[in-house]
A and B are shown apart, each in its own frame.
Chain A
Amino acid sequence: MQSYDFKPKSKVGEFIGEKVISISAMSALVVILLIFVFIFKESIPIFTDPEIQEEASVGKMVFKQEYYEGREAKWSWQPNSDVPKYSLLPLFLGTLKAALVAMLFAVPLGVGAAIYTSEFASRRMREIIKPVIELLAGIPSVVLGFFALIVLATSVQNLLGLTFRLNALTAGIALGLAVVPIIFTVSEDALSTVPLSLRDAASALGANPWQVSLSMALPAALPGIAAGIVLGFGRAIGETMIVLMASGNAAVISGSITDSIRTFSATIAAELAEVVFGSAHYNVLFFIGSLLFVFTFLVNLGGDVILSRLKTRLQGRLE
């Protein structure tokens, strides 16, 4: 028989129990902090060691460099060259291009699906759509990457007659598939959180379902949808396997989305395994890691802040 007696056995037991669970809550914070400290620690020589700075200082990573005398100055990522080149610009551009394509693909899909599911779909339909889209989030990114590499790349190339089979567009679309569930889930949550009382009030004033959705629910949930987009963007920036497999990994500087790209995350994944321990290249890869960490952390934090504000605002109106 089940017992519903929740009385603690003793004060001591209660005390210990509370401490144990508070430690488990704190451990997540500690882990995040430690990860950052250790990753950043490995990139410190870039700022302090003159021998490393000779190869890769912050200036060399950001500004155009004249690598060979008499030849044109340029931004270039060629860390294993006789004259190592560590410009981060091609990688930054690649990361941004992939993320933007992914967002162009995922935002309309994710937000559209969220509006339909929370506002217009029948309960039966909703019970099918929600789990299916959430299932998409469960697909390992290496599988999405493989799909993009083998199937998507060929179709996109044939459809558009592209020169490069693996490019920012293909990688971006595959990345978009990974981002859709995030945008969908957060946006759908935001729309569902709009209080029923507001909807009832709008209906009572004579608004039809379309007007309730588009003029009342959507504006009220807009910060939540924005948060979903921001969180999705964070994922698109940090995602590794998909871009590693489908983007071609060529560090070129170009504005075209049909050229190959090389992203920050893919660069770390591809190069860290074989880099000479303690070399400038090693430090630069960890520096890129720190940049990615800070960036995705800020983006996610931003998203979470927007979301919690939205919730207090909507609930505040209730009282």
Chain B
Amino acid sequence: MGKRNLRYPNRILTIGELYGHRENVFMETGGKMRKFTFAFIALIVAAGVLSAGTTITIKGSDTLVRLGQRWAEEYMKLNEETVIQVSGGGSGTGIAALLNGTTDVCEASRDMKPKEYKLAEKAGVEPYRVSVSLDGIAVYLHNDNQVTEFSLAQLKGIYTGQIKNWKEVGGKDARIILYGRENNSGTYAFFKEHVLEKEDYAEETQTLPGTAAVVNAVSKDKNGIGYGGIAWAKGVKFALVKVDEKSPAIQPTMENVSDGTYPISRDLYWFFNGKPTGDLKKLVNWALSPAGQKIAEEIGYVPLSKEQAEKNMVK
């Protein structure tokens, strides 16, 4: 066996063998399609078995998926005839699903873009938007960084690349290393609109997949700065943010986001096709009720104020 075989030389590796084990982009898209098919089949089966009850699908933002899941669990306990399926994939994926008619509820951490509204019109979908919770965007710094606060103008300067050195904002003489999110994340879009005032991020901004990766990167980089949700704080410190030089610097806490004093906060939305009725209406109004908002607060989201929640309910 061990001897070299002359008649049958060792085999050639084929493309398939070489690539069988790798993360292939094309296979990833294929996997997604398979997932769609699978979800579709599961849906039909579920619909057949539970023909007495209703099935609601919720899809969209990765920021909101945890909240959607908790709400679904609690709601299903209270309403046993209803089945709710929750999945993530991103705000853009959820909106696409709403336009294709493959989801009942689309979760999004941003408003729909003008382009998406136009596509909705073409598809005959009337997006109905309900703000279900709030989220604050915190600015992360390395624990050893002397800088403690920024004005919005300074943050804009830093992320557009005009301010390149920490000494320009009161730190030591070192280059600022920028960390951010991928360009299709809702967080990226929100930060760009509200802090960068729609200008482009500096090209040196390192984009990482997910808030956890940003927190991890900043915790390991003395000169790093990053941004993301306020529920993530392990190993980094939060910078205080002030509207301008004269106003007070605000800590990114749940209370400060909820009452609107922290300057970088956003609404998290549920989109429906048309004004929700029946089970969908019941679900969203329950989510906005004190019981629903309490669950949001328990798992780290910022609840709406009571008046605001009541105002957002579907009449």
Question: Contacts A163-B175, A251-B203: A271 and B184 contacting too (C-beta < 8 A)?
Answer: yes
Decide: B99 and A277 in contact? CB cutoff 8 A: yes
B82-96 interface mask toward A, CB cutoff 8 Å, 1 = contact, 0 = none? 000000011111011
Question: Contacts A185-B13, A275-B184: A137 and B89 contacting too (C-beta < 8 A)?
Answer: no
A-chain residues with CB within 8 Å of residue B188 when the two chains form the complex:
80
- Docked CA distance A235–B119 (Å): 38
**A154 is an interface residue with CB less than 8 A from chain B:** yes
- Docked CA distance A167–B276 (Å): 48
**B185 is an interface residue with CB less than 8 A from chain A:** yes
Nearest chain-B residue to A265 (Cβ)?
B25
**B298 is an interface residue with CB less than 8 A from chain A:** no
**A260 is an interface residue with CB less than 8 A from chain B:** yes
Nearest chain-B residue to A194 (Cβ)?
B4
**A278 is an interface residue with CB less than 8 A from chain B:** yes
A-chain residues with CB within 8 Å of residue B217 when the two chains form the complex:
165-166
**B206 is an interface residue with CB less than 8 A from chain A:** yes
The A interface, classified by DSSP as helix, strand, loop or mixed, is helix
Decide: B96 and A273 in contact? CB cutoff 8 A: no
- Docked CA distance A81–B15 (Å): 38
A-chain residues with CB within 8 Å of residue B113 when the two chains form the complex:
276
A-chain residues with CB within 8 Å of residue B57 when the two chains form the complex:
none
Question: A311's contact among B9, B119, B184, by CB below 8 Å, is which?
Answer: B9
- Docked CA distance A186–B28 (Å): 27
- Docked CA distance A318–B4 (Å): 14
Decide: A238 and B4 in contact? CB cutoff 8 A: no
Question: B12's contact among A251, A279, A304, by CB below 8 Å, is which?
Answer: A304
- Docked CA distance A182–B18 (Å): 7
- Docked CA distance A268–B18 (Å): 21
**B189 is an interface residue with CB less than 8 A from chain A:** yes
B-chain residues with CB within 8 Å of residue A163 when the two chains form the complex:
175, 177
B-chain residues with CB within 8 Å of residue A250 when the two chains form the complex:
203-207
**B21 is an interface residue with CB less than 8 A from chain A:** yes
Question: Contacts A165-B221, A189-B10, A273-B92: A28 and B204 contacting too (C-beta < 8 A)?
Answer: no
Mark out the residues of chain A between 172 and 201 whose CB falls within 8 Å of any chain B CB in the assembled complex.
Answer: 178, 182, 185-186, 189, 192-193, 195-197
**A73 is an interface residue with CB less than 8 A from chain B:** no
A-chain residues with CB within 8 Å of residue B119 when the two chains form the complex:
276-278
**A215 is an interface residue with CB less than 8 A from chain B:** no
Decide: A318 and B21 in contact? CB cutoff 8 A: no
B-chain residues with CB within 8 Å of residue A245 when the two chains form the complex:
209, 213
Nearest chain-B residue to A250 (Cβ)?
B206
Question: B26's contact among A154, A235, A293, by CB below 8 Å, is which?
Answer: A293
A-chain residues with CB within 8 Å of residue B19 when the two chains form the complex:
235, 238
**B148 is an interface residue with CB less than 8 A from chain A:** no
Nearest chain-B residue to A166 (Cβ)?
B206
Give the interface of B toward A (CB within 8 A). Answer: 2-4, 6, 9-16, 18-19, 21-26, 28-30, 89-93, 95-96, 99-100, 113, 115-116, 119, 175, 177, 182-185, 188-189, 192, 198, 200-201, 203-209, 213, 216-217, 220-221, 224
What 14 new A-B contacts, CB under 8 Å, besides A260-B204, A274-B182?
A39-B29, A78-B183, A79-B183, A80-B183, A80-B189, A142-B23, A182-B13, A231-B13, A262-B207, A271-B184, A279-B115, A308-B12, A311-B9, A318-B6
Ranked nearest first, the 9 interchain pairs of A and B with the lowest CB-CB distance are: A274-B184, A274-B92, A248-B206, A274-B90, A193-B9, A241-B23, A189-B10, A249-B207, A80-B183
Give the interface of A toward B (CB within 8 A). Answer: 28, 35, 39, 76, 78-82, 85, 90, 123, 137-138, 140-142, 149-150, 153-154, 163-166, 178, 182, 185-186, 189, 192-193, 195-197, 231, 235, 238-241, 244-245, 248-252, 259-260, 262, 265, 268-279, 289, 292-293, 300, 304, 307-308, 311, 314-315, 318
